[in-house]
Amino acid sequence: MDRLSRSEIIFKTIAHILIGVFALMALYPVVYAFSASISGKIEYEAGRVVFMPKDLNFQVYKLIFDDKGFWISYINTLFYTVFGTAWSMFVSVTGAYVLTKKRLLFRKQFNLFVVFTMWFNAGIIPMYLNYVNMNVNNRWGIVIAFGVQAYNIILLRNYFSAIPQEIEEAGLVDGVNEFQLLGRIFLPMSKAALATVTLFYATTRWNGYFWARILLTDPMELPLQVYMRILVENYQSMIDDMGDLLPYAADSYIYAILVCSIIPVLIIYPYIQKYFSKGVNMGGVKG
């Protein structure tokens, strides 16, 4: 018994050390980016910024915050994230709920069709031509066209399938319809899975870059990620022309943009992270 207790202590100690190391490895790039963004030019270029900032200088943030285009793109990203996530959750929840019903005609075929899209796709060029023909070149086009991911539907479907059928039957006996059954029974019992999938969609929407860069034609509708890329490209040309004359380090501007882009995710993630393990594990138990 003593040996077992000693081995458990050793195992837990090593596990905590490893977790701590991995946590520091994940946290350090974020801390360094923020420190580099507010450090003075001389201190940064001399390589003295390792962890904590040196010779505080907030000029790059003032430069970014005074840029109206930056705030417009920020609002656009909030729009894509809020409305896009809401639309994606609506399609995913209703689709997953329907696919759990054995009374659904061609249920197996529909499930196979959803899974099939995870294995095969038409490719980038056909998808691009399809989006162009469908006029997916505005805010609502981006929101609706990229509304669903097969993996998330399957995750929710498996979670809904794990809910005891007796509960559903009791609700039907009480006279509830399908909408009431979904809203009053399935959704309240699936908070972990819903929180997990919501964060998946929200993160994808917030970081959306590729298709928005290709499809959107109006500069006033560009999301934050695309606008930041344009800023970096334009700023790089300015650095090449007058890098030595800038009152701050050239890389500080880029680091400041990165920090601004991840702040909302850093704020929201801790509140939903606790649902991840439960939501993903239970959603993957039953196929």
pLDDT confidence tier of residue 281, bands split at 50, 70 and 90: low
Mean pLDDT of 224-252: 73
Alpha helices in 138-217 (DSSP H): 139-145, 150-161, 165-173, 178-181, 191-206, 210-215
pLDDT confidence tier of residue 244, bands split at 50, 70 and 90: low
Position 4 pLDDT exceeds 80: no
Q: Is 145 exposed, middle or buried (0-12, 13-18, 19+ CB in 10 A)?
A: middle
Q: What is the pLDDT of residues 30-73, one digit of tens each?
A: 898 888 888 888 888 788 888 888 888 888 888 888 888 888 99
Mean pLDDT of 178-199: 85
Q: What is the pLDDT of residue 272?
A: 67
pTM, full prediction: 0.80
Least confident of 41-45, 201-205, 211-215, 274-278: 274-278
Mean pLDDT of 205-211: 89
User: What are the DSSP calls for 269-282, one per residue?
Assistant: HHHHGGGHHHHHHH
Q: What is the pLDDT of residues 145-167, one digit of tens each?
A: 988 888 889 888 888 888 888 88
Q: What is the pLDDT of residue 101?
A: 84
Position 267 pLDDT exceeds 50: yes
Q: What is the pLDDT of residue 236?
A: 67
The CATH number for 58-283, chosen from 1.10.3720.10, 2.60.40.420, 3.10.105.10, 1.10.275.10, is: 1.10.3720.10
Position 195 pLDDT exceeds 90: no
Position 265 pLDDT exceeds 80: no
The 10 Å CB-count burial string (b at 16+, else e) for 232-269 is eeebeeeeeeeeeebebbbbbbbbbbbbbbeebeeeee
Quick one: tokens of 133?
Answer: 């023909």
Domain spans of the chain?
58-283
